[in-house]
Amino acid sequence: MRSTTNKDFFQRVYNWLSQVPAGHVVTYGQIAAALGHPRGARLVGWAMRVCPDDVPWHRVINAQGALSTRPLPGGFHLQRALLEDEGIQFESDGRIDLRIYRWSER
C-alpha cells in the first residue's frame, strides 16, 4: 500500500476501534478482517504504533489473547492496568479469555 493509502487505512482502523466499548477487546486480525483486509493484521499493528491518544489502543490484543509489546515505556504494564480498570480479568498465564471479552459488531 502507498503511504496515502496507509494513512486512509490507519484512519479507518481508528474509527472502527473507537466503537469498541470499555470492558471488551479486539484482535489485530479482527480489525483487519472487519475492514476488508483479512490478511492485514500486521498493517493494523503499524497503525497502532502511531495511534492517536484519544483512540482506545489498549483494547487491541493478539489472536492468542495476549498483550503485545508496546513501543512506549511501560506500555505492556500500562495496557494491562487500563484493561483491568475496565473490568477485564487476566488468566494465570497472562492471557485474556477471548470467549468472554472479545467484542463483536452486531
pLDDT digits (tens, 9 = 90+) for 9-22: 999 999 999 999 99
pTM: 0.90
CB atoms closer than 10 angstroms to residue 4: 8
pLDDT at 71: 61
CATH topology of domain 3-101: Arc Repressor Mutant, subunit A (1.10.10)
Tell me the per-residue pLDDT of 41-100, one tens digit each, with 9 for 90 and over: 999 999 999 999 899 999 999 999 999 876 666 678 889 999 999 999 999 999 999 999
Q: Which of 10, 75, 79, 68 is nearest to 40 (CA)?
A: 10
Length of the chain equals: 106
What are the sequence ranges of the domains in the chain? 3-101
What pLDDT is attached to residue 37? 94
